[in-house]
Amino acid sequence: MDSNELVKWLVLAANIGVLLGLALVIYEIRQNSDLMQVQIGQARADAAMESNQQTFESAYIPTILVTIQQGGELSEEDIVRYITWFRSQNRNQENVISQYQFGMLDENIPRSIKDFARTTIWQSEYSREAWRITKPGYCDQYIDFIESASESELVD
């Protein structure tokens, strides 16, 4: 083999190495991008939870939930409290769906989110109204997932 042929093979091997290196870099960048999206979703959920912590810890929410379950009427103040609580619950569930879609959670997640929809979102007129008011703030995938979980589908 003469030196020109050896150089050609070495150049070919070097080019293949560069292409493999680029493919690896692209793969790693995509992984990091996906991870960043999940982290952003988590930070968003944490911020929502943090901003509403007083609502969670208040004496109001359990009473509001019982009133809704029993078909009672809420005061205007309790409706605001409920919508705030409802929004933060959905923000957390939206983040869970996002993590599931990125393959970070196991296969029972869709079932648990549908159960959440059945017991919270489709529970009452208050809940359905809170969903109508707050749904523009969620990602399209979450809205589609929740709305595909219709009341009739969720009845056991």
Query: Domains in the chain: how many in total?
Result: 1
pLDDT tens digit string along 9-26? 888 899 999 999 999 998
Domain encompassing residue 145: 3-154
Distance CA 145, CA 112 (A): 12
Region 101-105: mean pLDDT is 72
* DSSP assignment letter at 137: G
Least confident of 50-54, 78-82, 123-127: 50-54
Query: Considering Cα of 103, then 109, then 111, then 115, what sign does the dihedral take?
Result: negative
Q: How many CB atoms lie within 10 A of CB 25?
A: 10
Tokens representing residue 98 in the block: 């996002």
Distance CA 29, CA 21 (A): 12
